[in-house]
Amino acid sequence: MNEQALIDELRKPEYQGLSDQDAADAINAKTVQQVAPVEAQAIRLTLASRGRLAAIKRIGDNTAAPEPPYDACATLMALLDAGDLIDLQNPAVDASSQVLIQHNLLTQDDADAIAALAVQEVRWVDAEGIGECGIGYIINARKEIAGVHDGE
């Protein structure tokens, strides 16, 4: 458990005056956004639903297509066909997206819709490696904040 993260969180003003149970409930209910790799199929479906997949595939399949955007299209199709997780935070992925935008194969709205697939809402306790937070965790963290240690 990441006890220091819990201690730091409980020092915030919004937890002052809450009972141990109310603080535990508030901690367990707190969510944060995290960025994670995206399933290739989700990107494929987004591109298809926005009418972008066919043109990208057509250029990616045509070795006589101009460069750019041939490499960006061919690479994207290879990644989508492999079916792996795609890290949208990778600078090479961002650079390819910019090439597709510059060549009118994607709009900025399309790129934003794809980027949104990577954002996940997760429980704060899970993001911090705490797990379900019970009142025992709260009591111990508050003792630490107060400088009270067992056996003293």
CA distance 134 to 85: 34
pLDDT at 102: 96
Domain parsing of the chain, residue ranges:
3-32+122-146, 37-117
The pair of structure tokens assigned to 144 is 């630490």
Q: What is the pLDDT along the chain (152 residues), one digit of tens a residue?
A: 689 999 999 999 999 999 999 999 999 999 999 999 999 999 999 999 999 999 999 999 998 888 899 999 999 999 999 988 999 999 989 899 999 999 999 999 999 999 999 999 999 999 999 999 999 999 999 999 998 866 55
> What local confidence, expressed as pLDDT, does residue 2 receive?
80
Helix and strand totals (H; E) in the chain: 9, 4
pLDDT for position 1: 67
d(Cα 139, Cα 115) in Å, to the nearest integer? 40
Residue spans of beta strands (DSSP E) within 14-123 = 31-35, 38-39, 85-86, 119-123
pLDDT (0 to 100) of residue 61: 93
Classify 64 in phi/psi space as left (phi over 0), alpha (psi -120 to 50) or beta: alpha
What does the pLDDT read at residue 152?
A: 53
Distant-in-sequence, close-in-space partners of 99: CB < 8 Å, separation ≥ 6: 68, 69, 71, 72
Tokens of 40: 């290739």
